[in-house]
Structure 1
């Protein structure tokens, strides 16, 4: 298998490969899509006030989507916290002396989700802490559901795009290894619309559990521990 994380590939290395009549048709290939979740312990090095200052306007943070009601904690999914990587196995077809074509035999595509969870350092163990942890867990569970629902969509996108590419080349023997990376970049670019849509769906879904009613229900069991629920917008 030959793989890369698209974030590590220099844009200057991207060239255009192309299918040629000299190359065989793209044969049958396998696609495997995996979802890997990496949870970590809560980060507690900021106070509730500092969390509000840091995340209240950050739309990658659940605190922003919930209207700043849950001030004692926030989840954060930004940058590489949700990323994709592709690993491709190729078939090499010798078509003439010193020339070869490449076709795909298998695609391994991995979505990695590594959310950060913040809880205010001033939130002591007890009712408010437990409610905050439960609230943040719902954010993460919803992300997990949305991403899992997106796995078959990404698989179909990969199948369709690779089928449409056909075998690539022919290339000089000295170019074959570099062209493998180029083809993988093309595959990632080819499914970019579906990836962006999945990322948007994940972020947008957070609003469904951050309603005023949700906040009031969460905080009702801890009278006086949270801001006045009636102030929830």
Structure 2
């Protein structure tokens, strides 16, 4: 808003009046800005509970069982297999904070995602003797799958940091709201960020599966089948056992 005074009016108090109006407008805008800020007064308590499960080796499954478990259909014999499974939950707490004039801001006080690894199994065909060239080759190959699975924790921690920043930024940018809107806003935010956390985990798991597929290539299977010579168990014992 601009207040203009023309000298031709010969009104001595014009400039003083304009100054008062401008100061009033500035004070009103400052008050509105103060009321419109919901920046959190403290950082939320953000903790990630990641419960590991060290990979367990199972050498009691036949190569026939492994091929059935892997879905079959491959022209290569499946002599090793790694299975990984996790479960996740998300706990978030938001509290209202009164800022005056019957209006409230929302403060995220706790962000607590939990990830439990419920299965991490490495199978190596029972037909392979421990310490043999074939056993060591399969063991090393499955070890690459284990590395990918373990590397997911760093990705999940980074996703948590991004999620916390998103929560603080979005909730802090909200305007104060009347008391009757508080509970519905809290439910909406809890639902929204619960879905967001699950989406982030799905994205991480999808990338993990893509990395796993890059390990299991026809070229890698061909290399493994020839790694212990032309008459190794890959071409003899395992081929016979899977029939």
Which bracket does the TM-score occupy, shorter chain normalised?
A: 0.5 to 0.7
Q: Helix, strand or coil for the counterpart of 2:194?
A: helix
**TM-score normalised per structure 2:** 0.59
Contact between 2:90 and 2:197, CA under 8 Å: does it hold in 1?
no
2:68 corresponds to which of 43, 50, 53: 53
State the number of aligned residues: 191
> Within the alignment, does 1:189 sit opposite 2:195 as a pair?
yes
1:200 Cα deviation after fit: 0.8
Q: Which residue of the partner structure matches residue 38 of structure 2?
A: 25
**TM-score normalised per structure 1:** 0.62
C-alpha RMSD of the superposition:
3.9
1:76 Cα deviation after fit: 1.6
Q: Which residue of the partner structure matches residue 163 of structure 1?
A: 169
- Larger RCO (CA within 8 A; separation ≥ 6): 1
Contact between 1:87 and 1:108, CA under 8 Å: does it hold in 2?
yes
Superposed counterparts of 1:192-211, under 5 Å: 192-211=198-217
Equivalents in 2 of 1:197, 1:214: separation in Å? Answer: 26
Structure 1 residues 186 and 160, CA gap change in structure 2 (3 angstroms):
same
1:203 Cα deviation after fit: 0.6
Q: Which residue of the partner structure matches residue 225 of structure 1?
A: 233
Q: Helix, strand or coil for the counterpart of 1:125?
A: coil
Larger Rg: 2
Superposed counterparts of 1:1-233, under 5 Å: 25=38, 27=40, 28-30=42-44, 31-33=46-48, 35-56=50-71, 69=76, 71-77=78-84, 81-91=85-95, 93=97, 103-113=107-117, 114-127=119-132, 128-161=134-167, 163-165=169-171, 170=179, 184-223=190-229, 224-227=232-235
Equivalents in 1 of 2:194, 2:212: separation in Å? Answer: 26
Per-residue displacement from partner, 1:166-225 (whole Å, max 9, x unpaired)? 6899579xx8xxx98886444221233322211111111112222233234444442311
Q: Helix, strand or coil for the counterpart of 1:191?
A: helix
1:154 Cα deviation after fit: 3.9
Gaps of 5+ in 1: 1-21, 58-63, 229-233
More helix by share: 2
Gaps of 5+ in 2: 1-34, 237-243
